[in-house]
Structure 1
Amino acid sequence: MALGIMADGVINVSEAEMLARWLAMRPDAGGYAVQTLRERLDAVLQSGDFNCRTGKALFQTLKGLLAGFLPEWMHETPVPGVATVHSGRTVQGLVLTPDIPGLYDKPCYIDLTATFCFTGIFAYGERSDVEAAAVAHGGSTCGHPVKSRPCYVVVGSVASPDWAHGHYGRKVEQAMRFREEGAPVQIISEDTWAAAL
């Protein structure tokens, strides 16, 4: 159902309402993805202020949550009308962050009381949402990776197309350097962080 709603690249208020009703009829459906989707839909629909920007944000949430189930053509399709500045350049469109071999650490355990540095765009919510979640679980946040104490650099589910060409952004590049120097810095995906919560 979600893939059908996303097929045209936008989500309007009637589609959001339909998805919310569909989820309401399935109260036993659980898990991180479904709970996140319920919360985002509730917040969007209760605000009464559904607009183009809201629809694009909801599209990004769905795209991030359904990453493993998206058809190949949807992985490569940019979200219409979204522009961001990445590495000093304006980039049209955002795509799912690719799983680049060797980039992500795969820790067996994540210390939720450590320091977290967030980068990218998150299916979980806005940057303030992910930072608040980290603090609520006993951690602290920082604007850039630190090497003096355990630090996790959490990469959001959605990134610039430049990721496909190895341009990761300053935070990730700095974390990679610190990691090579033996500092207690790990780079993890949003999914890994969210599962630890």
Structure 2
Amino acid sequence: MKNLFFSREKIVQTFETLQGLIDGIRADGKIKNEEVIALKSWVKAHNYLEMRRPFNDIINIVKTAVSDHVLSEDEILDIKYVCKKFLDTYGGSKMGHLHGFASGIASDGELNEVEWKSLAKWIHTYDYLRGSWPYDEINALVHKHRSTLDLSSEEKEIIIYYFNDFCGLNKNSSLTHPLNEPNKPITGICAVCPDIEVYERTFCLTGESKKYSRDEITDKIFECGGIYKNDMSNLIDYLVVCSEGSPMWIYSCYGRKVEKAIAMRKAGHPIQIIHEFDLLDALEDAA
């Protein structure tokens, strides 16, 4: 067996994600076969840790729970008990819980009103995570679409795929997806009511503004003591999405810079994706 080493943060994240996955699966009070399969996928992904502490107990409990292809309430409570006991001892940041929670909600391939409200409540409760991935992205979605009735079937499909990426439940966990084509938009990626500091902060722009030229926007940034860079790098604090007055975003439209920004956020770089309107408000306040 390989001499595997896991940091405390990695171990805590594993337990947080599992706890969130369970909470997401049971969010609407129903356990479907697809959700049991999602839990089996979690077991498969972590099976190589079965003989290692502190993973051995929880992996065996989950494996036993799904062995009959049914997940009972007692089995759910057993899993949650072990996760809670571990996290009460070692603490946690809740970010792993969000990853699991979103993926658990989407694991049956559907989004219903009860699940959506549960997700919105979670986002509101843990507002202190603002600025982190994927909190801002999910926060933007639940604020833009207060109800699942606002979502088209196509948007639901993209969101489900997007959520499942958080736990690696898709066969190809990546940012892009075949549905992300020019005529297939999804609303919500920019941070909601972001706290924007301009002075000595570095900005990058993507898209075109209907209100100002790019030179006019960059001049305003410089006037307020900010810095502008045309290319994405770890120096960037804010990626500004200019969209001709529309809150819509499409990966294939903004492409390279948005994809780079989200990859950076996944890796832990604190770059924020903001809308041009929020930047202009911040520049006006800073002037």
TM interval, short-chain normalised = 0.3 to 0.5
Give 1 or 2: higher helix fraction: 2
Q: Which of the pair has more CA radius of gyration?
A: 2
Q: Where is the strand percentage greater, Structure 1 or Structure 2?
A: 1
Provide the TM-score with structure 1 as the length reference: 0.43
TM-score of the two chains, using structure 2 as the length reference = 0.31
